[in-house]
Amino acid sequence: MNSAKILLVDDEPDILEILEYNLRREGYEVATADNGEEGLRRAEEMRPDLIILDIMMPIMDGVEVCRQLRARKEFDNTVITFLTAREEDYSQIAALDTGGDDYITKPIRPRVLLSRVKALLRRGERKEQEEVTSIAIGDIVIDLEQIVVLRGEERIELAKKEFDLLKLLASKPGKVFSRDEIFNKVWGTDVIVGNRTIDVHIRKLREKLGDHYIKTIKGIGYKFEF
């Protein structure tokens, strides 16, 4: 199952319905909006990994939505792609000029859409990894380039998987990461590990960092907080 969050913004109910159906079937978390103003509000609430925006919409068009999102630092790493009609060359250029990452032309075939979505989400992961060199939360600094963790002046020694696990949890403070998501992102889908592997690594992190940073969400997974 995919864990990425996707926001669909389009004023055509039929398009919203078919896109939402196909994305949910792939396991994505999906929210929808039928105009640009509502799309902005939902983006602020959801903080999606990917936003699919129609260009021509009532109240506020997709280009203006993109412009406002890109003006806010919290959406720097959000991938934004546009839905456009084939003849909308000018709109496509304007969309990319305001910070859009790509565009998808209508009519949309579900199989093509899913392929593009996967590619865009991979691009977003690379973009985030390239831009972020350290994570500072409270008195903890995670240096992603030197692969070290500092608490004030103290250097905390972590094993590779402990570091990878901490980096994942701290990348989005307050977000609950499911056990499956942690396994996939830290150990990979091709690696077979025991059911207690995550628990053991969490215990070691708590011993080294302190008990209050990582919270257990019973029956779901873990989150980082301070």
* CATH number, domain with residue 88: 3.40.50.2300
Nearest Cα to 22, choosing from 103, 80, 109, 84? 109
| Peptide linkage before 107 cis (omega within 30 of 0) | yes
51 phi/psi in degrees, rounded to 5: -120, 125
Residue 214 above 70 pLDDT? yes
Residue 164 sits in a domain whose CATH number is: 1.10.10.10
> Which pLDDT band holds residue 173 (cuts at 50, 70, 90)?
confident
Nearest Cα to 132, choosing from 123, 143, 122? 143
Residue 88 above 60 pLDDT? no
Are 119 and 138 members of one domain? Answer: no
The single-letter code of the amino acid at 178 is S
Residue 131 above 70 pLDDT? no
Are 117 and 14 members of one domain? Answer: yes
- How large is the average pLDDT for residues 48-73? 90
Among 131, 161, 193, where does a domain finish? 131
Q: State the pLDDT at residue 28.
A: 93
Q: State the pLDDT at residue 95.
A: 65
Domain residue limits at 160 = 134-224
- How large is the average pLDDT for residues 145-153? 86
Are 66 and 108 members of one domain? Answer: yes
Total count of domains within the chain: 2
Whole-number Å distance between alpha carbons of 85 and 88: 6
Mean pLDDT, the chain, integer: 84
Residue 91 above 80 pLDDT? no
- How large is the average pLDDT for residues 172-194? 77
Q: How many residues would you count in the chain?
A: 226
Burial of 141 (0-12, 13-18, 19+ CB in 10 A): middle
Are 141 and 95 members of one domain? Answer: no
Are 143 and 116 members of one domain? Answer: no
pLDDT tens by residue, 151-162: 888 899 999 999
Are 123 and 165 members of one domain? Answer: no
Whole-number Å distance between alpha carbons of 200 and 217: 16
